[in-house]
């Protein structure tokens, strides 16, 4: 390889890093991606998505039981907690729909809400989707 080609390559890595950071900012702002992920160095800037709650209505069993029993649901739980956009909420609703007791399922993601001044801990709704069985 020629010296000139190497000089083009020399600073390509920091440029790629900046492109990945920019794409992470885009996903965070348009697609509800949690700041911890996507290569944008947003770790420790907010509570980790692991502590988000997944709430699903009208099921034959609690969602926690289904997570233990159904592998397809278990493997998608963290995905929907990490990025609770409509596409992921809909996909989770489709996965749990076979356990539904009615044709309508409400699916919600709640995140921890902390108020240090008043030492309060509560939860706030960050994603909500109503799924109607086809």
Instruction: Report the interface residues with another protein, using CB under 8 A.
Output: 1, 3, 6, 9-11, 13-14, 16-18, 20-21, 33, 35-47, 53, 55, 78-79, 82-83, 108, 110, 112, 114-123, 125
Give CA angle at 24 (21, 28), nearest 5°: 140
Closest separation between CB of residue 2 and another protein, Å? 11
* SS3 category, 47: coil
- Nearer of residues 31 and 97 to another protein, judged by Cβ: 31
Q: Which is nearer to another protein, 49 or 134 (CB)?
A: 49
The least distance separating another protein from the CB of residue 134, rounded to whole angstroms, comes to 26
Radius of gyration of the chain (CA): 20
> C-alpha angle 67/68/70, rounded to 5°?
65
113 alpha-carbon distance from chain centroid: 17
Say if residues 126 and 110 touch (Cβ distance below 8 Å). Answer: yes
Spatial contact of 89 and 129, defined as CB atoms under 8 Å apart = yes
Structure tokens at 112: 């921890």
């Amino acid at each position: 390889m020629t010296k000139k080609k190497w000089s083009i390559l020399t600073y390509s890595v920091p440029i790629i890093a900046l492109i990945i950071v920019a794409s992470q900012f885009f996903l965070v702002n348009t697609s509800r991606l949690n700041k911890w992920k996507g290569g944008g160095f947003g770790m420790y800037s907010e509570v980790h998505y692991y502590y988000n709650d997944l709430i699903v209505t009208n099921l034959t069993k609690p969602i926690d039981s289904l997570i233990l029993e159904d592998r397809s649901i278990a493997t998608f739980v963290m995905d929907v907690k990490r990025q609770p956009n409509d596409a992921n909420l809909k996909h989770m609703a489709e996965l749990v729909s076979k356990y539904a007791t009615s044709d309508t399922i409400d699916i919600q993601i709640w995140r921890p809400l902390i108020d240090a001044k008043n030492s309060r801990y509560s939860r706030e709704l960050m994603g909500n989707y109503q799924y109607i069985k086809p």
